[in-house]
Amino acid sequence: MKILDILVPEAIVPEMRATSKDEALDELASAVVGLRPDIDRARLVDVLRDREELGSTAIGEGIAIPHGKLSGVQDVLAAFGRSPSGIDFDSLDGGPTHLFFLLVAPEDSAGLHLKALARVSRLLKDADFRQRLLAGTSRDELYASIKSEDEKY
């Protein structure tokens, strides 16, 4: 699975306005719903919040991968957001979170969901890639960085 199979440029938020975890989940969910108006935004946000209650999806080093499964979704969907100032997302390392990959999977798709999580995690392990994402200021620039990294593997 490639990231570009599930992420389109229109689902990239280069300058998140959110200042809290709840606002970040809402803003990223809105990016998905903007492309898929058949998805109930409030229901998606509830699924994401429920997942966060199990444990933060902020894995440290300024990264969070909020995710959830939603009935009615046929394919894995993604959104990417960048918060230059950082958001307190209850990260495992206690630091602010700057880079967000939101993943939404069909309710009955454990395999696809896990493949998407693994792919995003693998790409974000690269410190140079994270720096390029932090430095990117436009949707096109961020998409180009993600595309370039995605094509390496």
**Residues 44/31, Cβ–Cβ less than 8 Å:** no
Cα 32–chain centre separation? 10
Distance CA 132, CA 115 (A): 24
Q: Could you confirm whether 67 is annotated as catalytic?
A: yes
Distance CA 14, CA 40 (A): 23
Catalytic residue chosen out of the listed positions 67, 69, 98, 119:
67
Q: Give one word for 79, left, alpha or beta, with left for phi > 0 and alpha for psi -120 to 50.
A: beta
Q: How far is CA 37 from CA 32, 34, 40, 80, 99, in A?
A: 8, 6, 7, 18, 24
Query: What three-state secondary structure class fits 108?
Result: coil
Q: Which residues are catalytic?
A: 67
